[in-house]
Structure formats: C-alpha cells, structure tokens
Amino acid sequence: MAEDDSEWVLESIVGFLGSPEWVIPVTDFMENKCTVFDDEEENKLSYTEIHQQYKNLVEKLLENYMQEVGINEQQFLYACTSPFAKSKTLQIVFQPVLATDDFQMFRSLMVQKNMELQLQALRVMKERNGELPECLTHGADVMTELQQQEMKILHQVLQKSKEEYEEEMSFRMLLDEENGSTSSSSSDKPFREKQASTSSQQDSTAKELPESEQDQLQQRATYLRQQRDRLHALKKEQQKSSYNSPPEEAPSSPTEISAEEKKRLQKRKHLAEKLKEEVIKK
C-alpha cells in the first residue's frame, strides 16, 4: 500500500520542504547558530550541541507535518527512497533533512551559511559607505590605520615643537650676536627684557602662527577622532550582523581585543576571499 502512495507522499514532503513552515524556522536556526562555524579543520565542542538542537528542530517540524497530513514513518521512508527522490534536484531539497544524520554535511551547511552572512554584511557596508573600510579590502586593518592616524598627529606635534625650538634658537642666536659685544655672561633678566623690547612685532606673528597651527591640529584631531568612532561603530554593526551571539563579551583589556579583532578580521577576510573565489569559479 505504501508504495502506491509514494508519489503523492514525496510530492507532499517536497512541497513542505519548500514552504515557509519549514524554510523559516530552519533558516532562522541556521542564521542564528552559524556564527561559531568557521572553516578550521578542528571542530568545536559547541558544534555538537548545535547539531543536537538542529536534530530536535527538524524532527519536530517533520513530525508535526506528517501528523497533520497523515503520513506515517513507513510511507515517509518509502517515498524518500523511491527513484524519484534520488534525482539530483530532490537530493538538494533533502539536504537539510539528511544533515540531521550527517554531522559533516551539517557542518558544511553551517559554514556556508556563515560565509553567506559575512558576504552579505560586506555588501551592506559597501552600499552604505560607498566602499569598504581599508581593513576589509587591503592588508591593513582598522587598528593599524588608527595607529597611522595617531602617528600623523604625533608627527605634526613633533614638527611643530621642532619649529618652535628652531625659531627660538635662531632668535637667541640673533640676540647673542647683538649682545655678543657687551657681555658673555648676560643674565636671564636683560635677555628677557631684550626679547620683549626688540622684537615685539616679530613676537606677535610668532605667537600667532603656532596658535593657528594649533587650531588646525585640534580640528584635525577631532576629525580623526570622529573618523575613528565611525569605524568603531561600523565594526560593531558588522559584528552584530554576522555575530548574533558573540562568544566573547566585554573586552577585559584594549590590547587583548585588538589582537582578537585583528585575528577575526583577518579570518573574515580570508573567508570572504575564499567564498568569492568559489563563487567565481562556479
């Protein structure tokens, strides 16, 4: 009896596997849980736990459906082992079901889902910002970029102080030349008086220049800070979208998180590249 039914049973099951009642919970599950699945050779212990949850979910969904429609397990088995079910297209449809029994298959589905989400995140970032942040396109990542910016500021500060120092030195030399004839051991007091009296005009410009420079510097610093904040926000957003349940919360120290972040970014980049390659190949 079961064999006669196999055709409509199979059709019905395939229909179910394409319906929102199946697709939504399964996709939700995968998108929520895929973030810990990377392409490292070694499996994490948490994969097993997630696989178990997946088995429970699929079992519940299928059982509910079969009960609803009135298919028993025997019919299900007949239908799914019939020649129809062995076609390539149907095998793909059945993949999420078979993944309950095949950890390796489950794992590859999850890794693939994770990559998809990451690529999606990259695309969204690109759309929003016109281009990807430096860290996701070339070798450098956010931290080194920040360091570079800080180095720039430092350079400017150093340069400024050097300029000031040279100015003062040349000024002193000028004074020394002027005072050279009077006495070699000129005390500080006459020197200061001289400085104030002889070059009042020069002094005012000298004072103004560093001030305007300082203004510029300050502007630059705030701009850079804003830039940095934006980058941070971006990173957070990206993390949120692709890491729904980040395994590590609340960074214990800034240096630690930076190293971790670096590693993660590198990995992500690697993944994205790999996926791109695969997609292009196909």
Partner 1 sequence: MGEAQKGLLSVVEKLKGTTEQEVRIVLLGLDNAGKTTLLKSLASEDVNTITPTQGFNIKSVASHGMKLNVWDIGGQRKIRAFWKKYLENTDLLIYVIDSADKKRFEETGLELSELIDEENLKGVPVLIFANKQDLATASPASEIAEGLNLHTYRDREWQIQACSAVSGEGVQDGMNWICNNIANRKKK
Binding site for partner 1 (CB under 8 A): 41-45, 47-48, 52, 55, 58-59, 62-63, 66, 73, 76-77, 80-81, 85-86, 91, 94, 97-98, 100-104
Which of the 8 DSSP states describes residue 181?
T
If the CB atoms of residues 32 and 48 are measured against partner 1, the closer one turns out to be: 48
Nearest approach, Cβ of residue 59 and partner 1 (Å): 5
Contact (Cβ atoms closer than 8 angstroms) between residue 94 and residue 84: no
Nearest approach, Cβ of residue 67 and partner 1 (Å): 11
Nearest approach, Cβ of residue 49 and partner 1 (Å): 8
In this structure, which amino acid lies at residue 279?
V
Q: Determine the Cα–Cα distance for residues 96 and 34; give it in Å rounded to an integer.
A: 14
Q: Determine the Cα–Cα distance for residues 272 and 247; give it in Å rounded to an integer.
A: 21
Which single residue is written with the structure tokens 């179910």?
16
Cα dihedral 170, 173, 177, 182 sign: positive
Contact (Cβ atoms closer than 8 angstroms) between residue 63 and residue 18: no
Nearest approach, Cβ of residue 242 and partner 1 (Å): 21
If the CB atoms of residues 10 and 121 are measured against partner 1, the closer one turns out to be: 10
In this structure, which amino acid lies at residue 191?
F
Contact (Cβ atoms closer than 8 angstroms) between residue 44 and residue 114: no
If the CB atoms of residues 104 and 200 are measured against partner 1, the closer one turns out to be: 104
Q: Determine the Cα–Cα distance for residues 217 and 224; give it in Å rounded to an integer.
A: 10
Nearest approach, Cβ of residue 81 and partner 1 (Å): 6
Nearest approach, Cβ of residue 274 and partner 1 (Å): 20
Q: Determine the Cα–Cα distance for residues 29 and 32; give it in Å rounded to an integer.
A: 5
If the CB atoms of residues 79 and 136 are measured against partner 1, the closer one turns out to be: 79
